[in-house]
Structure 1
Amino acid sequence: MLIALLVDRLLGEPPTWAHPVVGIGHYLNAFGARLAAMPPAQAFTGGALVWLLGALLVSVMALGLEIALMQGLQPWTSWPALLGSALGLGLLLKPLLAWAMLVDEVLAVERALGESLQAGRARLSRLVSRDTAALSAAEVREAAIETLAENLNDSVVAPLFWFVIAGLPGAAVYRFANTADAMWGYRDHREWSGKWAARADDVLSWIPARITALALMGLRPALLPRLAGEASRTPSPNGGWPMAAMALRLNLRLAKPGVYSLNDGGAAPQGADLRRAAGLARRAMLGCALLLAFAALSLRLPL
């Protein structure tokens, strides 16, 4: 896991042609429009079947790669073999998480705001699905910080959590589920075709989202009693947890107009707050990675 994060920091994302998430997107796109046009019952059933088939395919491919790597590096009697397995698994895990790109994109929003409000809105539109055309500078920053907090879980902590639980197949299935939710899980013409994908992502993200929130809270136990109440203000059963933790820890108000408002008594985000949020998210990410690494060791080492 630490190798995957190091490769992510030094090399960034793999090329598009080799990126598994891009392949997942192509698979989902092949069925998305057709499923969304079906009547609700058929759309739900079809969406569930396509999701299950896709999850099976990515898990089988990930398991095959993991087995091939392990067999190729046997016997396990030398440190070079152990280091080789760690390096190989780290390289395979890397495309299933994205930390460096997330932080770079969020900080790019503040740099764009330094040019103009319009540039900031345009840059933010690369990160969020909401309409950014009428957002104020403070609202642009709020949306960027919310995206950073939510995707700290979706793009880093949750893939690592499922890697600990089920190895490379676990991380791959989670990434498939999260991508399917991002592409299909909306209350529009895709509602029924994406309902299974949305619920599956809710289930798989439930524990990691709360781990992420606790990591963001850090050594501020006095704020913990407010966390669950603030998190419940959002429609998502999971996304509100890291967003609420970020809002409380930085004492900022984070809101999506007409949908939710977190930590109403907090300040509106200013120019330095995106960098503050990035620093807090980085510390939380490293804390989660170390915690999960120790958890992985404790699960695998003999008593």
Structure 2
Amino acid sequence: MLAGIAIDAVFADPRRGHPVALFGTAAATVERRLYGDDRFRGVLHVAACVVPVALLGLAATRPRDPVVRAVLSAAATWAVVGGTTLAREGTAMAVLLEDGDLAGARGRLPHLCGRDPSGLEAPGLARATVESVAENTSDAVVAPLFWGAVAGVPGLLAYRAVNTLDAMVGHRNARYERFGWAAARLDDVANLVPARITGLLAALGASLVGGSVREAAAVLRRDGHRHPSPNAGRCEAAFAGALGRTLGGVNVYGTRVEHRPEMGDGPAPSVADIRRSVRLARAVGLGAAALAVTALLLRRR
């Protein structure tokens, strides 16, 4: 696992041929064959996509040679952990906004979230970036490491499959309201514990970004449950408290407008806060890696 984390830190995600992208292509093919506007077909879709991936992970634990098992574990960890790419995307947004390149920043935002960037100015782009960094720190780093510590390589791969399916079909729109229900609910369950670990680690790391651990913990406790997602709110509230900023507000997703509760007590994020959020996300990722490796070592005793 440590080797996989190190590989991600050095090389991040490849631009082409990433295993998660290949899984997404396969899942889209399965969707075309199974799609129907009902929950049962959505359950079949999730099962058809996740079970083979979990079995592949189980097969990776079977070789008797410990070196082979270590290489496969490292490869699986690298494939599912995306902390370095997340940090690079956040930093890229910071650079574009610091240079006043609004067009470039609007074009870059879809790399982080599904929010419509066309009507966003610098403050809105900064808020969207900070919120996305907060939520994706759990999805891309803490959650896969948690499931790797709990269930080894099968846990790593199965979690990433579930999370990818949620990103593909777990939407509240006419096509996926029912078909994507199973993927969305399974992703909620898979992230219940990791999101709360992310919130705690972010609060504990508040002093690294000039914040107060006590204030961050207070905001997490007060506002974490206010988000419509059972998990994203914990991450965003902790980041808001640690950064001393207020997150939430009106979000536009194509033709859909959502009014999110505000979390935190300070002003709205500025462009300068993007780099602070990336620094906090890196610290949370390191903390999660330490916890996961420690848990694995304790299990082996």
Provide the TM-score with structure 1 as the length reference. 0.88
| Pairwise CA distance, 1:211 | 0.3
Matched position secondary structure for 2:39: helix
CA distance in 1 between counterparts of 2:115 and 2:150 reads 34
| Pairwise CA distance, 1:116 | 2.0
| Pairwise CA distance, 1:103 | 0.6
What do residues 155-186 of structure 1 show as CA deviations (whole Å, max 9, x unaligned)?
Answer: 11110110111110001110000001011111
The corresponding residue for 2:8 is 8
* Unpaired segments ≥5 residues, structure 2: 206-212, 251-257
What do residues 226-252 of structure 1 show as CA deviations (whole Å, max 9, x unaligned)?
Answer: 313312221110011111100111011
| Pairwise CA distance, 1:86 | 3.6
CA contact (8 A) 2:198 2:235 kept: yes
* Unpaired segments ≥5 residues, structure 1: 74-80
The corresponding residue for 2:130 is 145
Cα gap change, 1:86 to 1:262, in 2 (>3 Å)? farther
Q: 2:113 aligned to 114, 121, 128, which one?
A: 128
CA distance in 2 between counterparts of 1:199 and 1:132 reads 27
- 1:194 matched to 2:183? The reply is no
What do residues 234-286 of structure 1 show as CA deviations (whole Å, max 9, x unaligned)?
Answer: 11100111111001110111124142143353122223211111111111111
Matched position secondary structure for 2:111: coil
CA distance in 2 between counterparts of 1:223 and 1:112 reads 28
CA contact (8 A) 1:124 1:144 kept: yes
Q: Quick check: 104-113 or 153-162, which moved more? A: 104-113
CA contact (8 A) 2:166 2:180 kept: yes
- 1:116 matched to 2:101? The reply is yes
CA distance in 1 between counterparts of 2:217 and 2:273 reads 22
CA contact (8 A) 1:247 1:262 kept: no
Cα gap change, 1:53 to 1:287, in 2 (>3 Å)? same
> Percent of pairs identical after alignment?
34
**Structure 1 counterpart of 2:267, one-letter code:** A
The corresponding residue for 1:242 is 235
Cα gap change, 1:32 to 1:259, in 2 (>3 Å)? farther
**Structure 1 counterpart of 2:269, one-letter code:** P
| Pairwise CA distance, 1:125 | 2.3
**Structure 2 counterpart of 1:20, one-letter code:** P
**Structure 1 counterpart of 2:176, one-letter code:** R
Matched position secondary structure for 2:161: helix
**Structure 2 counterpart of 1:278, one-letter code:** V
Cα gap change, 1:205 to 1:264, in 2 (>3 Å)? closer
The corresponding residue for 1:76 is none
Q: How does 1:282-301 map to 2 (within 5 A)?
A: 282-301=282-301
Q: 1:102 aligned to 65, 78, 86, which one?
A: 86
Q: How does 1:15-34 map to 2 (within 5 A)?
A: 16-17=16-17, 19-32=18-31
**Structure 1 counterpart of 2:182, one-letter code:** W
Q: Quick check: 108-117 or 96-105, which moved more? A: 108-117
What do residues 13-57 of structure 1 show as CA deviations (whole Å, max 9, x unaligned)?
Answer: 24633x321122112211435655x34xxx211110121121110
Cα gap change, 1:26 to 1:88, in 2 (>3 Å)? closer
CA distance in 2 between counterparts of 1:284 and 1:238 reads 16
CA contact (8 A) 1:209 1:241 kept: yes
The structure that has the greater radius of gyration is: 1
**Structure 2 counterpart of 1:61, one-letter code:** L
CA contact (8 A) 1:32 1:184 kept: no
Matched position secondary structure for 1:67: coil
| Pairwise CA distance, 1:85 | 4.5
Matched position secondary structure for 1:210: helix
The corresponding residue for 1:160 is 145
The corresponding residue for 1:221 is 214
Structure 1 stretches of 4+ with a deviation exceeding 4 A read 33-36
Q: 1:90 aligned to 74, 91, 99, which one?
A: 74
The corresponding residue for 2:55 is 60
**Structure 1 counterpart of 2:74, one-letter code:** G
Cα gap change, 1:243 to 1:296, in 2 (>3 Å)? same
Matched position secondary structure for 1:260: strand
Q: Quick check: 178-187 or 90-99, which moved more? A: 90-99
How many residue pairs were aligned?
285
Matched position secondary structure for 1:255: strand
